[in-house]
Amino acid sequence: MTDAKTPTLAQVVASFHQIFPPQLAESWDASGLILGREERPVSRIGFAVDATSATATEALQEGAGLLITHHPLLLRGASFLPASSYKGNIIHQLIEGGCGLLAAHTNVDSAPYGTNEAFMDLLGISDRQVLAGANSSQIRGQEVQVGIGRVGNLPQPVRLKEIANFIAQFLPATAAGIRVAGRPDQKIQRVAVCTGAGDSLFDAVRAQEADLYITADLRHHPASEAREEALLTHGKPALIDCSHFASEWVGMKSAAGQLQAALAAQGFQVTTYVSTLNTDPWDFTLSTGDTYGSASTR
If asked whether residues 237 and 149 sit together in one domain, one would say yes
If asked whether residues 262 and 171 sit together in one domain, one would say no
Distance of alpha carbon 187 from alpha carbon 133, whole angstroms: 28
pLDDT-flagged residues of the chain (< 70): 1-2, 291-298
If asked whether residues 124 and 229 sit together in one domain, one would say yes
* The pLDDT value given to residue 141: 86
Q: Is residue 1 part of a domain?
A: no
* The pLDDT value given to residue 230: 87
If asked whether residues 242 and 255 sit together in one domain, one would say no
* The pLDDT value given to residue 78: 82
202 Cβ contact partners less than 8 Å away, ≥ 6 residues apart: 213, 222, 225, 226
If asked whether residues 43 and 155 sit together in one domain, one would say no
If asked whether residues 174 and 202 sit together in one domain, one would say yes
Q: What is the pLDDT of residues 41-84, one digit of tens each?
A: 999 999 999 999 999 999 999 999 999 999 999 988 788 889 99
If asked whether residues 230 and 130 sit together in one domain, one would say yes
H-helix segments, 50-85: 53-62
Q: Is residue 156 part of a domain?
A: yes
Whether the CB-CB separation of 32 and 259 falls below 8 Å is answered with no
Reference 260, options 275, 277, 273, 247; nearest CA is: 273
Reference 219, options 198, 193, 195; nearest CA is: 198
Q: What is the pLDDT of residues 212-229, one digit of tens each?
A: 999 999 999 999 999 998
Q: Which CATH number goes with the domain that contains 82? A: 3.40.1390.30
* The pLDDT value given to residue 291: 61
CA distances from 162 to 166, 185, 242, 274 (A): 6, 9, 16, 28
Q: How many CA atoms lie within 13 A of 61 on its CB side?
A: 7
Q: Which residues pair with 146 in a beta bridge?
A: 135
Whether the CB-CB separation of 65 and 43 falls below 8 Å is answered with yes
If asked whether residues 239 and 259 sit together in one domain, one would say no
If asked whether residues 185 and 72 sit together in one domain, one would say no
* The pLDDT value given to residue 248: 98
Q: Is residue 279 part of a domain?
A: no
Measure CA 179 to chain center: 18
Q: pTM (2 decimals)?
A: 0.93
Range of the structural domain that residue 76 is part of = 9-105+251-274
Q: Is residue 91 part of a domain?
A: yes
Distance of alpha carbon 165 from alpha carbon 180, whole angstroms: 10
